[in-house]
């Protein structure tokens, strides 16, 4: 039985599957498109909110160094993703990579995990976008009926019509074509990056050197907790992280890491890339470098405009401009955040549908969902199904409930991909690799350790939710996936 659970799918077979006419996606993306996708999904409200929050609570002005540390952790994983995505240019990202190196069951676990993560992530972003748009409408004197304004504070029936509408519109864009979605993303990302650059340049004129003193504030120990909301490392070892000081930078890094989540979504579009061997590494690493640079610049500006002890938690960057006597920037920043969230939502939805499509093509989910549209060459069936489901979830669920996104899934995928690189180097040294992760196995091992450390800093309740979802995944696999696996059926025919 164990041999069937860990049977691997040959890379040549995975690539051959992409050439079947009814299951083949259209190749239309360039390195620029991929970089735009990466920047579009990484830069969300985190750059406007998380920067000041972490500066005030964890690291002071040294939050800039925390972004560098988090960026390095992501870069370690990105190098592993770049090798896989250029070697195995097939939809599905970590799921496909795992199938080629670790086996069917680990691949299913990762795919099941990513479907949940991208779905909840899309819903969270849609609800957040709805809040910005509703606020802008209120300022213009247009007020939505309370029953259609969402679940937050609703008495009786409440449905977030704006969040649901956004998901459905983006679903239609993705059905029509990935190139169209890339063009829409390019326009929105251009607006979003322009807003960020204006904020950085304008904010630089209001920086005061005294606000950087001290750059690394004196360390303050944190009392160890004992509940499920405490980090797992506290419950296991009784170790509590410290705020501020040198160790506070690493504590802050474990928080701001989640502002980088999304670059791995770029890998899901490998099959739709014109020249994946060249363009995937450029798209993955290029978007990460751009976003890290912008994050560090914003953190330097915001902590220079206002002393870290005075920063607000809800809207630190906007409030920093208000404190310097320029309140109109707050509306400008809100506009940039609202526009930017549309691309985050769309690219997360794109990533999820590609993972679902790849699992369906392998038979682990119903094959009905692996047929592409005859005209647009997109996976229209899973896109429509997941778009409608997510629209309903976003409409009926409050942001406070959605915000408990299983971030652990991304780190878990990082660990699996890094291990997969080492295994595939040993099992298939003959594979042509246009991009090679340097210093194997040392760099992948370092990536695994860094990801595991950040996982241990997540609350125990996150691990509990993750365990419940994984248990459900095991059940689905053994009830349906294992018996319908194309790889398993092909092996039976060979033996038969």
Q: What 3-state class would DSSP assign to 93?
A: coil
- Is this prediction's pTM over 0.85? no
Q: What is the mean pLDDT of residues 391-409?
A: 67
Q: b vs e for 448-484, b when ≥16 Cβ sit within 10 Å of the residue's Cβ?
A: bebbeebbbbbbbebbebbeebbeebeeebeeebbee
Q: What pLDDT shows up at residue 402?
A: 46
Q: So what's the pLDDT on residue 477?
A: 93
Whole-number percent of the chain with pLDDT over 90? 20
Q: Which of 131, 140, 141, 194 is nearest to 163 (CA)?
A: 131
Specify the higher pLDDT residue, 31 or 46.
31
pLDDT per position as a tens digit, 62-114: 999 999 998 998 899 999 988 988 888 887 788 888 888 888 999 999 899 88
Of residues 471 and 326, more confidence is placed in 471
Residue-wise pLDDT for 448-495, tens only, equals: 999 898 888 777 887 888 888 889 999 999 999 998 898 888 777 766
CB 397 within 8 A of CB 126: no
**How far, in Å, CA of 289 to CA of 68, rounded?**
10
Looking at every residue in the chain, the average pLDDT score rounds to 83
The alpha-carbon radius of gyration of the chain (Å, integer) is 22
Among the residue ranges 137-146, 164-173, 436-445, the one predicted with the least confidence is: 137-146
d(CA 378, CA 9): 23
Average pLDDT over residues 352-359: 88
Distant-in-sequence contacts of 441-444, Cβ < 8 A, 24+ apart: 443/76, 443/79, 443/80, 444/76, 444/80, 444/418, 444/419
Q: Residue 337: which of 48, 118, 40, 136 has the closest Cα?
A: 48
Which token pair is 128?
């957040």
CB-based contacts of 79, cutoff 8 Å, min separation 6: 285, 437, 438, 443, 447
**What domains are defined for the chain?**
2-6+23-132+182-354+405-495 (1.20.1740.10)
Neighbours of 387 (CB within 10 A): 23
pLDDT over 60 at 403, yes or no: no
Give pLDDT tens digits for 186-217.
Answer: 888 888 888 889 889 988 998 999 999 888 99
């Amino acid at each position: 039985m164990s041999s069937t659970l860990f049977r691997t799918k040959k890379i040549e077979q995975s690539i051959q599957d992409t050439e079947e006419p009814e299951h083949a996606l259209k190749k239309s993306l360039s390195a620029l498109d991929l970089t735009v996708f990466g920047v579009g999904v990484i830069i969300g409200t985190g750059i406007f909110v998380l920067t000041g929050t972490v500066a005030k609570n964890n690291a002071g002005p040294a939050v800039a160094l925390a972004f560098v540390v988090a960026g390095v952790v992501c870069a370690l994983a990105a190098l592993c993703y770049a090798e896989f995505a250029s070697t195995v240019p097939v939809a599905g990202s970590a799921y496909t990579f795992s199938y080629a190196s670790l086996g069917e069951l680990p691949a299913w676990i990762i795919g099941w995990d990513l479907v949940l993560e991208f779905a909840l992530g899309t819903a969270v972003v849609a609800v957040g976008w709805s809040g910005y748009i509703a606020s802008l409408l209120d300022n213009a004197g247009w007020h939505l009926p309370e029953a259609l304004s969402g679940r937050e504070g609703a008495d009786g029936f409440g449905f977030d019509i704006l969040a649901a509408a956004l998901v459905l519109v983006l679903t239609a864009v993705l059905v029509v074509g990935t190139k169209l979605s890339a063009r829409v993303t390019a326009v929105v990302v251009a607006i979003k990056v322009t807003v960020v650059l204006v904020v950085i340049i304008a904010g630089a004129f209001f920086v005061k050197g005294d606000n950087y003193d001290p750059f690394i504030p004196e360390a303050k120990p944190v009392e160890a907790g004992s509940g499920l909301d405490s980090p797992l490392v506290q419950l296991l070892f009784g170790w509590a992280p410290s705020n501020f000081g040198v160790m506070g930078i690493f504590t802050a890094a474990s928080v701001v890491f989640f502002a980088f989540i999304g670059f791995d979504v770029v890998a899901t579009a490998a099959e739709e890339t014109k020249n994946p061997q060249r363009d995937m590494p450029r798209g993955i690493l290029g978007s990460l470098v751009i976003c890290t640079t912008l994050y560090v610049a914003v953190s330097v500006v915001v902590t220079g405009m206002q002393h870290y002890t005075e920063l607000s938690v809800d809207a630190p960057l906007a409030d920093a401009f208000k404190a310097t006597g320029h309140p109109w920037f707050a509306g400008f920043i809100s506009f940039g955040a609202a526009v930017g969230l549309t691309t985050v939502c769309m690219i997360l939805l794109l990533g999820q549908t590609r993972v679902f499509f790849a699992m369906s093509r392998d038979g682990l989910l119903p094959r009905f969902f692996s047929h592409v549209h005859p005209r647009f060459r997109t996976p229209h069936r899973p896109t429509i199904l997941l778009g409608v489901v997510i629209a309903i979830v976003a409409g009926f669920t409050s942001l406070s409930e959605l915000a408990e996104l299983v971030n652990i899934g991304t780190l878990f995928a990082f660990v699996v991909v890094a291990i997969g690189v080492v295994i595939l180097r040993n099992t298939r040294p003959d594979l042509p690799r246009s991009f090679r992760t340097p210093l194997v196995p040392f760099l992948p091992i370092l990536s695994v350790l860094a990801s595991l450390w950040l996982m241990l800093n997540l609350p125990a309740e996150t691990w509990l939710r993750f365990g419940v979802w994984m248990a459900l995944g095991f059940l689905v696999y053994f009830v349906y996936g294992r018996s319908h696996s194309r790889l398993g059926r092909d092996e039976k025919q060979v033996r038969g």
